[in-house]
């Protein structure tokens, strides 16, 4: 990163004179005067030492919990040390848009490998070079499905609220109608889907796992949509894709999601990574850019930008997307993470998430936190909350635990491979309000069967059906 070198007044005057401008204010004459009036309410400048002290004081107010049972879209996973080691190298850290292929082979290959890995995870034919986050990926995917006579998007009410709101925001700007469909038992109401379908519908957006952590019947939804000529977009957790059927296998036309679980730390909400993958028939509708592999004049392997919507740069009024930044650093991080974990590592992570989440649900139910829905789930589930949530949250925090997320009057719990059995047992004891071994004992209690092996997925028929 280049350093900041302030110019003295005499150099500034010389620069202004060279371009024929009297003063700095004249550079901004195109901005209405009423918008330029007044000074910004900013504190006086600080020295580097003073700035460091201020930032250190702010950082000291943050609390990093050693144990986390909260998700809702962002999750704590183990990140191999090689991920940061490679992503932090200056050649990657400072890279930007690879317009000149001959000078950008490294970053182009990274994007190519990223696209290939996303296609392998989702089962789709083609992936773009990523977008900003999972919510914007979903909104961009809806825009991909828009037709002249099909401009309404159906949205599963069981999907995450922030994602649905983002889709609706994009839709208002494009004069596209959105209709939220009701849920039943925490899942999309398929009867409501059938009843809602019209010739004006372009697509259905559905998430699996959804906002409650439940696994949706995507295959059934895809069959219903296909009969009506409606595209299906599936939002998915990339870690779950190592265990469940791929979106392509279930009949989806587009797969989207947030790549944060793929080696990107929680980081106060970002920057994250949105992925989009689709069937080959929709390739030219993908936003952003696609990198392809070719051969140079000497027959050596080379990488080039094979497809990008140029109107996003020079004919913006006709653009179907506003995505231009390549988001390559986050894509690189995800690429290294997937390569480091490999198929076996990803599958083991997914199995641990599943097994530990189900063990946690059993322990919490013993503590009086009954699951709200009976459907199959991956690594998140919602329970009733028999205690005051604020009191419960403080009780967890006193023990160094970031507990579940309050949602719809209940609690959404998230469990990953990072949670140990000891942490889960401790969570259950605190939830029960005792903080002691009794009445809930670590391991087996209240007639509970022996806990499942954390290295193997559960044996439920629903999961067997969903698993590859």
CB 179 within 8 A of CB 130: no
Q: What is the pLDDT of residue 28?
A: 85
Q: What is the pLDDT of residue 262?
A: 97
Contacts of 409 (CB under 8 A, 6+ apart): 384, 385
CB 215 within 8 A of CB 186: no
Q: What is the pLDDT of residue 456?
A: 40
Q: For the chain, give percent helix, strand, coil, nearest 5.
A: 40, 15, 45
pTM of the model: 0.84
Sequence spans of domains, the chain: 81-337, 343-466
Q: Which fold has domain 343-466?
A: 3.90.1150
For 81-337, CATH number out of 3.10.580.10, 3.90.1280.10, 3.30.300.90, 3.40.640.10 equals: 3.40.640.10
| 407-463 per-position pLDDT tens digit | 999 999 999 999 999 999 999 999 998 444 434 444 443 334 443 444 444 445 445
Residue ranges, the chain, pLDDT below 70: 1-5, 308-326, 434-468
């Amino acid at each position: 990163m280049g350093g900041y070198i302030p110019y003295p007044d005499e150099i500034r005057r010389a620069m202004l004179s060279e371009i024929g401008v009297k003063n700095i204010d004249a550079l901004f004459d195109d901005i209405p005067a009423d918008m330029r009036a007044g000074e910004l309410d900013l504190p006086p400048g600080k020295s580097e030492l003073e700035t460091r002290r201020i930032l250190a004081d702010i950082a000291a107010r943050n609390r990093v919990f050693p144990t986390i049972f909260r998700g809702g879209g962002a999750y704590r996973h183990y990140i191999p040390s090689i991920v940061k080691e490679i992503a932090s190298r200056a050649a990657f850290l400072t890279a930007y848009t690879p317009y000149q292929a001959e000078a950008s082979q490294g970053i182009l290959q990274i994007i190519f490998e990223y696209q290939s890995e996303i296609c392998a995870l989702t089962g789709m034919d083609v992936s773009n070079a990523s977008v900003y986050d999972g919510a914007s990926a979903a909104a961009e995917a809806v825009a991909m499905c828009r037709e002249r006579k099909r401009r309404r998007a159906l949205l599963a009410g069981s999907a995450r609220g922030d994602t649905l709101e983002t889709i609706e925001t994009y839709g208002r700007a494009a004069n596209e109608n959105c209709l939220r469909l009701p849920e039943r038992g925490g899942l999309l109401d398929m009867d409501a889907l059938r009843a809602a379908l019209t010739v004006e519908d372009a697509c259905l957006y559905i998430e699996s796992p959804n906002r409650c952590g439940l696994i949706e019947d995507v295959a059934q939804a895809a069959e219903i949509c296909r009969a009506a000529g409606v595209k299906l977009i599936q939002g998915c957790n990339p870690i779950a894709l190592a265990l469940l059927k791929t979106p392509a296998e279930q009949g989806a036309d587009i797969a989207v999601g947030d790549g944060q679980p793929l080696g990107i730390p929680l980081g106060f909400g970002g920057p994250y990574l949105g992925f989009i993958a689709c069937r080959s028939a929709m390739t030219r509708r993908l936003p952003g850019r696609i990198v392809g592999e070719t051969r140079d004049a000497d027959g050596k392997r080379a990488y080039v930008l094979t497809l990008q919507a140029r109107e996003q740069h020079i004919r913006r009024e006709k653009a179907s997307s506003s995505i231009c930044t390549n988001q390559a650093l986050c894509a690189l991080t995800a690429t290294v993470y997937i390569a480091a974990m490999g198929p076996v590592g990803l599958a083991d992570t997914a199995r641990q998430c599943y097994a530990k989440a189900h063990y946690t649900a059993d322990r919490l139910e013993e503590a009086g936190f009954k699951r709200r829905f009976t459907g199959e789930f991956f690594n998140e589930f919602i329970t009733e909350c028999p205690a005051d949530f604020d009191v419960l949250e403080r009780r967890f925090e006193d023990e160094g635990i970031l507990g579940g997320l309050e949602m719809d009057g209940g609690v959404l719990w998230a469990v990953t491979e990072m949670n140990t059995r000891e942490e889960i047992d401790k969570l259950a004891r605190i939830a029960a309000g005792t903080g002691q071994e009794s009445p809930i004992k670590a391991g087996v209690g209240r007639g509970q069967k022996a806990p499942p092996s954390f290295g193997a997925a559960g044996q439920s028929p629903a999961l067997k059906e969903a698993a590859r």
